A and B are shown apart, each in its own frame.
Chain A
Amino acid sequence: GAVVSQHPSWVICKSGTSVKIECRSLDFQATTMFWYRQFPKQSLMLMATSNEGSKATYEQGVEKDKFLINHASLTLSTLTVTSAHPEDSSFYICSASLPWAFFGQGTRLTVV
């Protein structure tokens, strides 16, 4: 079946640094990918829709300059958390649709 691979699974970084999270579709082409953020024991919050070859569409309240999304190819979308702060610590999940969504394994980001 279709597989979406997300890397890294977890990352710890210092405040003020940037962190890049990769989301790859391994056996299919994904023109659209989605990035979610999940707080403990809560549902997924859609952050942005990533479109191959064009700018991402961000949900209301999500800072574009803070969460940079790049979808340069049909198999790779990246989310970069810039100048990370402790409040950015969260679980980030990507997905691609085929037509139902397949999810990456998630990335646990901890900013210290």
Chain B
Amino acid sequence: AQSVAQPEDQVNVAEGNPLTVKCTYSVSGNPYLFWYVQYPNRGLQFLLKYITGDNLVKGSYGFEAEFNKSQTSFHLKKPSALVSDSALYFCAVREGGSTLGRLYFGRGTQLTVWP
């Protein structure tokens, strides 16, 4: 069965510091991995994806994520956090080979960046 774990409910970081939001996954076959961001009372916005290719994926707003197959992880990172990055972040996985199938979401990590 597919599943995603985001071990931290909350991540706090000072503006200008690097940030990491952790995600591990469990899936049969090759995974399609995604990160989304949600602002209050809004839908989810796509940040980045890993389908195949380079393990380091660059996405929107300066975010990047590294696919680590041996550790089954896909941590989201940003070298220098902004206050405006404060939001709820979701990691998601879709079983490989299915481009239209459902996503399995982690429980979300609330990122707070303080000035």
Contact = CB atoms under 8 A, between A and B. Distances in A.
Contacts of A32: 100
Interface residues of A, number: 26
Contacts of A42: 107-108
B43 to A, nearest CB: 4
B102 A46 contact: yes
Specify which of B43, B45, B90, B100 lies most central, judged by the most chain A CB atoms within 10 Å of its CB: B43
A100 B41 contact: no
A50 B1 CA distance: 22
Contacts of A54: none
B99 A103 contact: no
Contacts of A43: 90, 105-108
B43 A93 contact: yes
B44 interface: yes
A32 B102 CA distance: 10
B46 interface: yes
A49 interface: yes
Nearest to A91: B41
A97 interface: yes
B103 A101 contact: yes
A103 B107 contact: no
A34 B41 contact: no
Contacts of A91: 41
Interface stretch (A67-75, A76-84, A104-112): A104-112
28 contacts: A4-B43, A6-B43, A31-B100, A32-B100, A34-B103, A41-B88, A43-B90, A43-B107, A44-B44, A44-B105, A91-B41, A93-B43, A93-B44, A97-B99, A97-B100, A99-B32, A99-B99, A99-B100, A100-B46, A101-B34, A101-B36, A103-B36, A103-B43, A103-B46, A105-B42, A105-B43, A106-B42, A108-B41
Interface of A: 4, 6, 9-10, 31-32, 34, 41-44, 46, 49, 91, 93, 95, 97, 99-106, 108
